[in-house]
Amino acid sequence: MQTEKLLMIPGPSPVHPRILNSLSLPTVSHVSPELSEELKEALAALKKIVFCERGEPFIVAGAGTLAMEMALLNTIEKGERFLVLSQGFFGQRMELIGKSFGLDCDLIESEWGKAVLPEELEKKLSEKVYKAVVSTHVDTATGACAPEKDYAEVLKDNDAVFIIDGVCATGGIEERMDDWGLDVILTAAQKCFGVPPGLAILVVSEKAMEKRRSMNAIPAYYSDLLNWLPIMKDPSKYFSTPCVNEIRAFHESTKIILEEGVERRFSRHAQIALAIRRALAELGFSFFTEEPFLADTLSVVRYPDGIEDKPFRSTFSNNGIVVAGGLGETAGKVFRMGHMGNLSVSQVFFALDALERTLSSLNYKFEEGSGVQAAKKVLEE
Ligand SMILES: Cc1ncc(COP(=O)(O)O)c(C=O)c1O
């Protein structure tokens, strides 16, 4: 009987035992030297993970949506216009957040399964002035990965602040803040960092910090980066009580990332994504996301004939693997499988074996072992 399940939804991702153990460390004082040291180390590691030397890192209690809100409120003033490059659900959310604070926003929307092309951004910038451009690196609903480096190239000589939502990418897919000229990378703990949900995380360039300083009061207090900056510089100071144990867990996660090596971590994500996709294709599944936009952190998978969404996901879960259903227009037609964070190769094999067992019990015809073999070929290369 299967009791423990492997969480392969597109976040939260599986939590490594070292991170789980660090959650059970004592709840020390939030201004103690222990926590102060760990937060400082985590902040320094965060900058390394996004290749940033000059910007300011922030880690506060919250979630990805809070980080989205913080990014917008600290860089865009009322009366200024920003542009969202949206390839799905979370680009639309950026627009909603902006609207709820009365900010003016235009949207370029790609079809679901694709991303906005750099040429479309270039054209839009020639038509209007934008104070910020916002892009979702990987949209978790569609599995599409946006060409952030190419967008950054288009934005090179533009004054707009360039904000990237890296909730489903940062720490798993390359984001080179200084070299590419990114101004805000926002993310959360529960995806490529492999930490339980509970943190809003940002790295903010000097240009974006300048923008915040040039603004007067902003419609935020907890979300005001200027209230957090002194704490990030010296975590023994108080602004609002941080989530001590979650920070200890995040600190452990950054240690794991640096031990693995950031570049090697990106390669592992790419290799595991390819292995899983080869296995799924071998078994007759196809992909919702178009080929050039496939993300290394999750797959959005269409069912072959004869496989229905609900029985598939419930049998897969009984066999130990939890995947998510489709969102919006894809509901019932696809499943979404996360492959990010600290997912190991042996966990991938366990998942693919469970997938084959699931297909067998649903009386689907396929060559037994062929999915696992297809993945093995990639992982043993
Ligand atoms: C790309 C992206 N942005 C933002 C969010 C929102 O993050 P949270 O659910 O932590 O608020 C998510 C959540 O899945 C996401 O995938």
Q: What is the rounded distance in angstroms from the CA atom of residue 244 to the CA atom of residue 180?
A: 33
Based on the fold, state whether residues 213 and 280 are members of the same structural domain. no
Average pLDDT per consecutive 10 residues, the chain (381 residues; last block may be shorter): 85 97 95 96 98 97 98 97 96 96 97 97 98 98 98 97 98 98 98 98 98 95 98 97 97 98 98 98 98 98 97 98 95 97 97 98 97 96 77
Q: How far is the CA of 186 from the centre of ligand 1 (A)?
A: 10
User: Is 313 contained in some domain?
Assistant: yes
Cα of 167 vs centre of ligand 1, distance in Å, is 6
Give residues (CB < 6 A) around ligand 1: 11, 63-65, 68, 90, 136, 139-140, 165, 167-168, 188
In this structure, the residue with its CA closest to atom 7 of ligand 1 is: 64
Q: Residue 360: inside a domain, yes or no? A: yes
Pocket test for ligand 1, best of 92, 168, 175 (most atoms within 8 A of CB): 168
Q: How many domains does the chain have?
A: 2
Q: For residue 2, how many other CB atoms are within 10 A of its CB?
A: 11
Residue 343 lies in a domain: yes
- pLDDT value at residue 2: 55
- Provide the terminal-to-terminal Cα distance of the chain, rounded to the nearest Å: 34
Final residue in a domain of this structure, among 212, 245, 260: 260
Between the CA of 64 and the centroid of ligand 1 the distance, in Å, is 5
Does one domain contain both 275 and 372? yes
Substitution candidate for ligand 1 out of 140, 164, 173 with most atoms within 8 A of CB: 140
Distance in angstroms (rounded) separating the CA atoms of residues 329 and 325: 11
Measured in Å, residue 188 CA sits from the centre of ligand 1 at 7
- Specify if 1 maps to a domain: no
Atom of ligand 1 nearest to the CA of 66: 11
**What is the distance in A from the centroid of ligand 1 to the CA of 192?**
12
Q: Domain with 362 in it: what CATH number?
A: 3.90.1150.10
245 and 273, same structural domain?
no
* Pair 124, 196 in one domain: yes
Instruction: Give the position, in ligand 1's atom list, of the atom nearest the Cα of 138.
Output: 1
- 308 and 209 co-located in one domain: no
Q: Is 149 left (phi over 0), alpha (psi -120 to 50) or beta?
A: alpha
pLDDT at 178: 98
Ligand 1 centre from 355 Cα, in Å?
Answer: 27
CA 208 to mean position of chain CA atoms = 21
In a domain, 122, yes or no: yes
201 contacts: CB under 8 Å, gap ≥ 6: 46, 57, 58, 59, 67, 170, 186, 187, 188, 189
Taking the centre of ligand 1 as the mean of its atom positions, its distance from the CA of residue 90, in whole angstroms, is: 7
Mutate to test the pocket of ligand 1, among 84, 136, 167 (most ligand atoms within 8 A of CB): 167
Asked if residue 317 is part of any domain, the answer here is yes
User: Residue 124, CB half-sphere, CA atoms under 13 Å: how many?
Assistant: 24
In a domain, 194, yes or no: yes
Residue that is last in its domain, among 216, 241, 260: 260
Contact in structure between 356 and 368 (CB atoms under 8 Å): yes
- Residues 256 and 343 reside in one and the same domain: no
Residue nearest to atom 2 of ligand 1 (CA): 167
Containing structural domain, residue 300: 6-12+261-379
For residue 103, how far is its CA from the centre of ligand 1 (angstroms)?
A: 21
Of all atoms in ligand 1, which is nearest to the CA of residue 166? 1
Centre of ligand 1 to C-alpha 366, Å, is: 36
Closest residue by Cα to atom 5, ligand 1, is 64
> Do residue 109 and residue 236 come from a single domain?
yes
**Sequence-distant contacts of 367-375: CB under 8 A, at least 24 apart:** 370/282, 370/283, 371/279, 371/280, 371/282, 371/283, 372/279, 373/282, 374/275, 374/278, 374/279, 374/281, 374/282, 375/275, 375/276, 375/278, 375/279, 375/348, 375/349
294 and 217 together in one domain:
no
Nearest to 52 by CA among 206, 155, 165: 206
pLDDT at position 372 is 97
The pLDDT of residue 180 is 98
Q: Is residue 303 situated within a structural domain?
A: yes
124 with 223, same domain: the answer is yes
- How many C-alpha atoms does 188 have within 13 Å on its Cβ side? 22
CA of 135 to the centre of ligand 1 (A): 13
CB atoms within 10 A of CB 196: 18
SS3 87: coil
Q: Are residues 42 and 82 in the same domain?
A: yes
- Point out the domain boundary residue: 260, 287, 303: 260
The answer to whether residues 241 and 294 belong to one domain is no
Q: Which atom of ligand 1 is nearest to the CA of 197?
A: 10
Query: Residue 227: which CATH number?
Result: 3.40.640.10
For 25, how many CA atoms within 13 A lie in the half-sphere containing its CB? 22
Strand partners, 162: 133
Does residue 189 contact residue 281 with C-beta atoms inside 8 Å? Answer: no
| Ligand 1 atom 14, closest CA | 140
**Residue 233 sits in the same domain as residue 269:** no
